[in-house]
Amino acid sequence: MIAVDTNIVVRFLVDDDLRQSEQAVYLFRRETVFLARSVLLETEWVLRRGYKMNPVKIGGALEALIGLPNVVCEDDSGVRQALMWHQAGMDFADALHLAAGSRAAQFITFDQDMIKAAKRLGLPVSAP
């Protein structure tokens, strides 16, 4: 198994640099690829900020990526939950944090946007 950096994932998903994209595709076709949550977090940021993709398109791309048979995703179920919350309007980083803390009774934050998004989704997030 190999682990890859964000730039490999972005080249694989966006296909905007012929040489690097071909190398990324080759890796994803030939290897078992481990994706860390931090790589997915950074990938979402790059796609949103650098490529101006919307949450639905980003979510679809990341879901397809982690659904590949040779991809092993760190905390697969948590990442999938975070992607669902993200597509429902929550910031992806906030959704990942919330999913990672799912064993806790409640998630506490000063982030009012996160609290509002969580309340819309019926999730236990509040201010201190």
Nearest to 100 by CA among 75, 65, 128: 75
pTM listed for this prediction: 0.90
DSSP string, 53-108: --HHHHHHHHHHHHTSTTEEETTHHHHHHHHHHHHTT--HHHHHHHHHTTTSS-EE
Q: How many domains, the chain? A: 2
Domain identity same for 68 and 23: yes
Per-residue pLDDT at 118: 92
What local confidence, expressed as pLDDT, does residue 103 receive? Answer: 85
pLDDT at 124: 87
Q: Are residues 69 and 95 in the same domain?
A: no
On whether residue 79 sits in a domain, the answer given is no
Specify the pLDDT at position 3. 98
pLDDT of residue 4: 98
**Within this chain, do residues 55 and 95 fall inside the same structural domain, yes or no?**
no
pLDDT digits (tens, 9 = 90+) for 2-34: 999 999 999 999 999 999 999 999 999 999 999
Based on the fold, state whether residues 70 and 94 are members of the same structural domain. no
**7 shares its domain with 34:** yes
Domain that holds residue 63: 1-74
Mean pLDDT by runs of 10 across the 128 residues of the chain is 98 94 96 97 97 93 96 96 92 94 88 93 90
Same domain (yes/no): 63, 4: yes
